[in-house]
Amino acid sequence: MLKEGDAAPDFQTRDENGNEVKLSDFRGQKVALYFYPKDDTPGCTKEACSFRDNNSTLAENGIKVLGVSLDDEASHQAFISKYNLPFTLLSDTDHSVSEAYGVYGEQTWGDKKFMGVARKTFLIDEQGKIKKVFDKVNVEAHADEVLAAFG
Q: pLDDT, tens digit, for every residue of 60-94?
A: 999 999 999 999 999 999 999 999 999 999 999 99
Helix (H, G, I), strand (E, B) or coil at 76: helix
Closest of 129, 121, 108 to residue 147, by C-alpha = 121
Rounded Cα–Cα distance for residues 16 and 71 (Å): 10
Residues designated as active site: 44
pLDDT in tens, 89-115: 999 999 999 999 999 999 888 899 989
- pTM value? 0.96
